[in-house]
Chain A
Amino acid sequence: MTRLREIARLLAGILRELSDESAYQRHLERHGRPHSAGEWRRFSEARLREKYSRPKCC
């Protein structure tokens, strides 16, 4: 049961990382700001600019 819970936690972690939600959380913690629409937009614009300037794999 503990093992299953660990796997579920891991899968959720991968999904959070892929969806940039972990990175957003880190961004909020780093700047000590609460979540808001404006904050997400600021984070998202910088994140996506960086993400979409690198080649995607074939």
Chain B
Amino acid sequence: MKRVLAHVGWAAVALMAAACLAGIALNRGEPINGIWLLLAASCMYVLGFRFYGKFIAARVMALNDQRATPAERLRDGIDFEPTNKWILLGHHFAAIAGPGPLVGPVLAAQFGYLPGTLWIILGAVLGGAVQDFVILFASMRRDGKSLGQMAREEIGRVGGFTALLTVLLIMIILLAVVALVVVNALKGSPWGTFTIVATMPIAVFMGLYLRYWRPGKVRECSVIGFVLVMASIFVGQAVSQSAALAPWFTLSGMALAIAIIVYGFLASALPVWLLLAPRGYLSTFVKLGVLLLLAAGILIVRPQLQLPAFTRFVDGSGPIFAGKIFPFCFITIACGAISGFHSLISSGTTPKMIAKEWHAWPVGYGSMLLESFVAVMAMIAASVMQPGVFFAVNSPAGIVGTTPAAASATITAWGFPVTPAEMQTLARSVGEQSLFYRTGGAPSLALGMAHIFARGGGQALVGFWYHFAIMFEALFILTILDAGTRVGRFMLQDLLGHVWPPLGRTSWMPGVIGFSAAIVAAWGYFLCQGVRDPLGGINSLWPLFGIANQLLAAIALCVATTILIKMHNARYLWITSIPLAWLLLVTFTAAWQKIFSPIPAIGFLAQADKLESALRSGAIAASKAVETRALIFNARLDAALCGVFLVLVATILIDSVRVWAGILRGRRESAVCEAPFVLSQLRAEEL
């Protein structure tokens, strides 16, 4: 009887998923409620987790709770420690949740809410969660080895070295693009800038508090930090209204970029306890709190989606970034569907903390579904705005026109009515001077979140909620920036340490300063390029980041496929090779188009050629010649970088295919490099 009821229950969930998906996919012309997206996503996640995830866990991985995990065998109380599965799930989710699942869906909303939502849900269930789960499993069975180490052992030395180099290049682009999102959110905004500047002395205060006044009281210190940050939002409002103080915090894009570059360098070179660590703790708690708040807000307010299911920009003429729905929707949304960066986390701390093998199922597969849920919430937040307002905020001046009147006319002509007066009223309501040309996704996400929060908690607070959302986004983007710069320095030292060993010493002061400067200079260059770009920078940098991140996922899936072939020959090859084939198709197409498309808005080389012709024919004023030459150089540099990514991934792919063919033809040894079986002595009640 129980079994029958379970079958009926799962059939009901499947029917509900089908009905919700059909509802959002077939609805045209009328606004639909955001709850339908949440319901469709939730039902699909539950089904994917219960059936697909469990199938992989039981049949493919043959997880066995009798087998001792590295956390039990190598227990040292530091890295290796058996941890309760739900606590570990929270820990792993906090580690994988970054700005990507929030910003990507907002940018992809230019195609309408439907394509992005479907990709987020299906991509996560069939690709992202599978990648995270298989890599976590592989690392857990190999004493917590990293992706690079596994690539070296399972594929070969070329694969291992290429993976390290790819990660370093991706880090540089990632840091530039997230910094650009912050710059675009804060330029000309004294309220936002003051709030973010205030988080720095607050973090230093927290660092001193933790080290000297109340050592070890991290949660207590974070509560104090949170109260101070909230107070700084209120003070920021007063600063923005002060004739004397506002000009100090009203900065141009370039001034903000320089400030962020200096901050990145200092944060990388200063002791970790002083700035990075307290900021990291605060950012983690704020991030989890805001995501819970957003979920509650959407459930309480049940907002209507104002964006259509599809917009006219599916043809590739979008103002936020150029390119057709295929392949660009699938690289714009990376982290909410499948993200290569997750494979670094899944082969980092988490495999060393898993107490029982079956815990890898909720931690690896389940955490990615939660991350995907965050991306669906971001899509809802972006879609609750009037389309005209959405495009006015997200379109660069180079596309829609350099005055509010021109921009409004262009956007209205696209079929999305908006007026300068409407935008002015909206800007005033959130305490900003203007909301035009705020590319990067963060301001429109903040507007959407403020809209949802304010409907639940009073319209008078809409300005506060907007700046609260901006503070939340900037806080954890800057945390990634400072920690990323530091990690980039370590990676560069690791690479160059092979050339001359002293260069690899991470505590050698000239090395600390020199390598920090090198990493900051690398991402700072791309940041300045984005700030100067008349098309807003996001148009060129976000696709580069998306391509790079998805290529890293392709590397992880190559490693995962190699392991599955070694375990089962070709039997379960499809589980990782189908998402791998899709990612290769998407990323290689996107990269090819970004390099060679004859349309200047898409192809870097065509863009450089167009500018060069204009320069030669005298169509560009002499005063703009130096700037134009820089734009030409940057377009060619971006094309070259895109090409390097392709070559690196093609190298790993060819190397992997060579290994796969050898194993499948029986010419190569197929022994898996797992740690030997040891019987587990750990009891569930110990956790």
List the interface of chain A (C-beta within 8 A of B). 10, 13-21, 23-24, 26-27, 29-30, 35-37, 40-41, 44-58
Contacts and interface: CB of A to CB of B under 8 A. Distances in A.
Nearest to A45: B273
A26 B167 CA distance: 33
B369 to A, nearest CB: 16
B479 interface: yes
Contacts of B335: 57-58
Contacts of B160: none
Contacts of A47: 78
Contacts of A41: 211, 215
B339 A58 contact: yes
B98 A57 contact: yes
A34 to B, nearest CB: 12
Contact of A19 (B98, B218, B345): B218
Contacts of B98: 56-58
A37 B212 contact: yes
10 contacts: A10-B84, A20-B218, A40-B210, A41-B211, A48-B276, A51-B280, A52-B487, A54-B348, A56-B480, A57-B345
B483 A56 contact: yes
Interface in B335-349: 335, 339, 341-342, 344-345, 348-349
A41 to B, nearest CB: 7
Contacts of B479: 56
A58 B176 CA distance: 12
B272 A48 contact: yes
Nearest to B344: A55
Contacts of A35: 215-216
Contacts of B545: 58
B588 interface: no
B277 interface: yes
Interface stretch (B88-96, B590-598, B657-665): B88-96
Contacts of B79: 50
B319 interface: no
Contact of A16 (B99, B219, B480): B219
B304 interface: no
Q: What is the interface residue range for chain B against chain A?
A: 35 or more
Given A27-B77, A27-B78, A58 B100 contact: yes
Contacts of B95: 56-57
Of all A-B residue pairs in the complex, the 3 with the closest CB atoms, nearest first, are: A14-B90, A19-B218, A40-B215
Given A17-B91, A57-B97, A58-B335, A52 B483 contact: yes
Given A10-B87, A44-B277, 16 more contacts: A13-B84, A19-B219, A23-B78, A26-B81, A36-B215, A41-B211, A47-B78, A50-B78, A52-B486, A53-B490, A53-B506, A55-B484, A56-B487, A57-B95, A57-B97, A58-B98
A40 B88 CA distance: 23
Contacts of B273: 44-45, 48
Given A49-B272, A53-B490, A58-B549, A21 B219 contact: yes
A54 B90 contact: no
Q: Is the interface of A mostly helix, strand, loop or mixed?
A: helix
A56 B342 CA distance: 9
B86 interface: yes
A48 B348 CA distance: 15
Contact of A14 (B76, B87, B483): B87
B226 interface: no
A52 B341 CA distance: 16
B174 interface: yes
A48 to B, nearest CB: 4
B178 A58 contact: yes
Given A18-B284, A27-B78, A35-B216, A54 B487 contact: yes
A58 B480 contact: yes
Contact of B216 (A13, A24, A57): A24
Contacts of B280: 51
A17 B345 contact: no
Nearest to B219: A19
Contact of A58 (B99, B212, B349): B99
Given A26-B77, A41-B211, A21 B218 contact: yes
A39 B232 CA distance: 33
Given A52-B276, A52-B483, A17 B100 contact: no
A15 B219 contact: yes
A57 to B, nearest CB: 5
B33 to A, nearest CB: 28
A47 B277 CA distance: 10
A18 B90 contact: yes
B91 A18 contact: yes
A48 B565 CA distance: 38
Nearest to A14: B90
Interface in B45-103: 76-79, 81, 83-84, 86-88, 90-91, 94-100
A30 B96 CA distance: 29
B77 A30 contact: yes
Nearest to A15: B219
Nearest to B167: A55
B285 interface: yes
Nearest to B548: A58
Interface in B427-484: 479-480, 483-484
Interface in B475-501: 479-480, 483-484, 486-487, 490
B171 A55 contact: yes
Nearest to A53: B490
B394 interface: no
Contacts of B83: 17
